Amino acid sequence: MTDAHPPIATVAVVGTGLIGASWAACFLAAGLDVRAHDPAPEAEARLRATIAAYWPTLEQIGLRPGASPERLRWEASIEEAVASADFVQESGPERADLKAAMYRRMDAATPAHVVIASSSSFMMPSVLQAPCHAHPERVLLGHPFNPPHLIPLVEVCGGTGTEPAAVDTALRFYADIGKKPIRLKREITGHVSNRLQAALWQEAMHLLEQGVADLADIDAAISHGPGLRWALLGPFMNLHLSGGAGGMRYMLDHLGPSIAAMWREQGQVEMSPELIAQTVAGIDDALAATDPEAMQRARDALLVRLVALKAATVLP
């Protein structure tokens, strides 16, 4: 990598499943050219149909000049997709063997100065860059929050062999297309957002397993309570505001022991067949009178409005 900042006009999307298709739509809405590849049968038709379904929402959010689904070009191989790219977003399956094969090919075919970013939810960038013998220094994590075409968060983290300039390039690129990138100072399994989610999921399943409340009420406890605040500010800032004039110091001095006591009581659950069955049954009961597709459409419509409202405020 060099310190030069060539403009990013063409993005290669390698892997066009749920996350890759959302990324492709996001890049097209940002006025970029997209070169896409996925070996799955009928992947191109599914990608174009998905982008067409997302496009009205992206128009509502606001398109950059030149944005068009027509700027998508399907490529027959990984090599053809990355050869002319200014940035690569990999969103392949979460399988180490498949990732290794993909990264060997991308490393050999991608121009040396071009960043290769992974959407991986759990794999660390040092593992991803290990098969890259030509230019491992440009491989890093660019993990979005699903769905990437609607939610701004992108977690950026380099591996042991990643040059700081590559991380800077990725942070700048994501910010330029309207995302909210954060820099991870070191690698950790699951990164930041997934680890925070996992902690909540564990206690939610513990409460369900222990019969403290039904699944629908546990969900409501978040979606109609702290989740509303968490959509606006993170856990530390919310804790600070809960302390009133005394802020964080007051909260930790006066409620810290009670919080610590709850930490010690947090449940440790196993993903047993019984717990899985109980959770699935709870979902079936909660959705008995609900159309899941309608619920997702309503969620996405609210997300668009919430992101726009938040962007227009002074909230961090």
Averages of pLDDT over each 10 residues, the chain, 316 residues: 74 98 98 97 97 96 96 98 98 95 97 97 96 97 96 97 98 97 96 96 96 96 96 94 94 94 92 95 92 90 91 86
> Which domains, and CATH codes, for the chain?
10-183 (3.40.50.720), 193-311 (1.10.1040.10)
pLDDT for residue 2: 52
Does pTM top 0.75 for this prediction?
A: yes
pLDDT for residue 4: 59
pLDDT for residue 146: 93
pLDDT for residue 5: 63
pLDDT for residue 1: 58
pLDDT for residue 6: 75
Residue showing tokens 């050999």: 108
